[in-house]
Structure 1
Amino acid sequence: MAGKIYPVHCGLKIIDMQKISWWLLLPLLAVGCAKPTGFDYLGVRNFKVIKFGLKESTVGADVEFYNPNRYPVTMKGGSVDVYANNSYFGKTTLDSSIQIPKKDTFLLPVVLKVDMNNTAIGLIQTLAAGQDSVHIKLDGSAKVGRGGLFINYPIRYAGMQKIKF
């Protein structure tokens, strides 16, 4: 009877062994599909005025974050409202994908269209008067994930930020 393999019955049916093996794999699947934790906001770098206009200006900066996850993730498609000194300042959107390394800092380049209303002019006057700190508030969301599974992740921050031109 060479070439045939007969199952060994140890008191369990073969079907029950398959069910048990799926239950043993379930924790591994749960860890592999775990929801990523949020990024730690570290600050703004390289703040610059790209285009200055009387009605609308364009401002650019690199926002620094830390990824505390034990695995790399991808960020794609985000939108954030920016407030300066508790007044709406502008909106920035992310329309490309960014690969974020595990347990490391990363810079997120942002471009912000600013409506040059009283808020923007007041902020410029504040910075021109010698104050280098502004109360910044970020409110929005971005799609974050890995392995093709993405979730909408909230982006929330409020605090004082030094602005250097």
Structure 2
Amino acid sequence: MRKLIGWMLLPLLAVGCAKPTGFNYLGVKNFKVLKFGLKESTVGADAEFYNPNKYPVTMKGAAVDVYVNNNFFGKTTLDSTIEIPQKDTFLLPVVLKVNMNNTAMGLLQTLSSGSDSVFIKLDGSTKIGRGGLFINYPIRYEGMQKIRF
């Protein structure tokens, strides 16, 4: 009888331990310059994502390189643990230290010329999981993004 119950619970266990899928990137909100300097500036924003999983997941740490118009713009890291609700959107606070070289100046020129869209590329990784089991998951995105101050 115990073996029969064990075999009947096996599919539930397999579904419960299913590998979580990655998040869908929706865009950037609340873009702001936190500190402006001639050599280095600090930029903040909220990145909006959607969790397509049928269960809540936990995200531990992230490191993402940000490229704007195919030029390296900065690197952001997240060293905290965040609980992400199931089938819901969520915001991640992003803080970038930007070297004010030609890349940042080029972005400022693009935005000052009247264009409010730039090409954004994200490349990095994070750990997502549940129940104490975590996997490394790549973060990859490329696309045009409207930036509003």
When normalised by structure 2's length, the TM-score is: 0.96
Give the whole-Å Cα distance in 1 for the aligned partners of 2:137 and 2:117. Answer: 28
Give the whole-Å Cα distance in 1 for the aligned partners of 2:58 and 2:82. Answer: 6
1:58 matched to 2:16: no
Q: What does residue range 12-161 of structure 1 map to in structure 2 within 5 Å?
A: 17-161=1-145
3-state secondary structure, aligned to 1:66: strand
How far the C-alpha of 1:19 sits from its partner, in A, is 4.0
Between the two proteins, the alignment pairs up a number of residues equal to 149
Give the whole-Å Cα distance in 1 for the aligned partners of 2:39 and 2:46. Answer: 24
Larger Rg: 1
When normalised by structure 1's length, the TM-score is: 0.87
How far the C-alpha of 1:24 sits from its partner, in A, is 2.6
How far the C-alpha of 1:132 sits from its partner, in A, is 0.2
How far the C-alpha of 1:74 sits from its partner, in A, is 0.9
3-state secondary structure, aligned to 2:18: coil
Give the whole-Å Cα distance in 1 for the aligned partners of 2:9 and 2:76. Answer: 42
Between Structure 1 and Structure 2, the one with more strand by share is 2
How far the C-alpha of 1:23 sits from its partner, in A, is 2.9
Give the whole-Å Cα distance in 1 for the aligned partners of 2:146 and 2:7. Answer: 52
Q: Deviations over 1:64-105 (max 9, x none)?
A: 111111111111110000000001100000000111111111
Aligned alpha-carbon RMSD (Å) = 1.1
How far the C-alpha of 1:160 sits from its partner, in A, is 0.2
Percentage of matched positions with identical amino acids:
81
